[in-house]
């Protein structure tokens, strides 16, 4: 059981060829399945965006806890949708954090701790293959 910090909701109609609206109305979009012609959101794009924002925030929290300052970073989450077996689907995730002003050994410590802190990471732990990568800002 979690100690509640925040609760929200969104409602979908029409599945992957439908519409999604959040309870506060800020998310109010048509969605389409991957590969649909046009410029649409799909659930995987929304998941990757939410996960990227959350993981980047976990990086910020980790840097604060470790008392590391003057570091720049950005987080990219790549979500791959695939078939696990017939009519059963799942994800593989790649998390790439690009750092400036931090050596790669320390960066590895930071992303490992952030991965333990992030609620998205904890939600998929032991259920989704996650590849953690670090890169250096040019």
1 pLDDT tier (thresholds 50, 70, 90): confident
DSSP string, 57-98: HHHHHHHHHTT--S-EEEEEEEEEEEEEETTEEEEEEEEEEE
| 93 & 121 share domain | yes
Q: What is the pLDDT of residue 106?
A: 97
**Predicted confidence (pLDDT) at residue 5 exceeds the cutoff of 80:** yes
Starting at the edge strand found earlier in the chain, the sheet holding 28-30 runs 10-13, 19-22, 28-30
Region 25-45: what's the mean pLDDT? 93
Helix (H, G, I), strand (E, B) or coil at 47: helix
Average per-residue pLDDT for the chain? 96
| 8 & 24 share domain | yes
The number of domains in the chain is: 2
pLDDT over 70, % of the chain: 100
What six digits make up the tokens of 11? 């409602």
| 4 & 54 share domain | no
**Predicted confidence (pLDDT) at residue 9 exceeds the cutoff of 80:** yes
| 91 & 29 share domain | no
Please name the residue that has the structure tokens 């953690």.
132
Facing residues of 19 across strands? 13, 30
| 50 & 118 share domain | yes
Rounded (10°) angle between helices 104-117 and 43-65: 120
CATH code: domain of residue 54: 3.30.300.20
| Domain coverage including residue 89 | 43-136
| 92 & 130 share domain | yes
| 48 & 37 share domain | no
| 117 & 65 share domain | yes
In whole angstroms, what separates CA 110 from the centre of its chain? 16
Q: What is the pLDDT of residue 137?
A: 86
| 17 & 33 share domain | yes
Q: What is the pLDDT of residue 138?
A: 77
57 pLDDT tier (thresholds 50, 70, 90): very high
| 15 & 34 share domain | yes
Facing residues of 96 across strands? 76, 133
Nearest Cα residue to 115 out of 106, 128, 125 = 125
């Amino acid at each position: 059981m979690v100690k509640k910090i925040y609760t929200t909701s969104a409602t979908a109609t029409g599945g992957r060829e439908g519409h999604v609206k959040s309870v506060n109305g800020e998310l109010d979009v048509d969605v389409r399945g991957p590969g649909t012609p046009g410029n649409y959101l799909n659930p995987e794009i929304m998941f990757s965006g939410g996960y990227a924002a959350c993981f980047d925030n976990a990086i910020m929290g980790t840097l604060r806890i470790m008392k590391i300052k003057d570091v720049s970073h950005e987080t990219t989450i790549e979500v791959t949708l695939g078939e696990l077996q017939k009519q059963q689907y799942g994800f593989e995730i790649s998390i790439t954090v690009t750092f400036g002003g931090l050596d790669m050994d320390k960066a590895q410590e930071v992303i490992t701790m952030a991965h333990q802190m992030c609620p998205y990471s904890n939600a998929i732990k032991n259920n989704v293959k996650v590849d953690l990568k670090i890169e250096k800002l040019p």
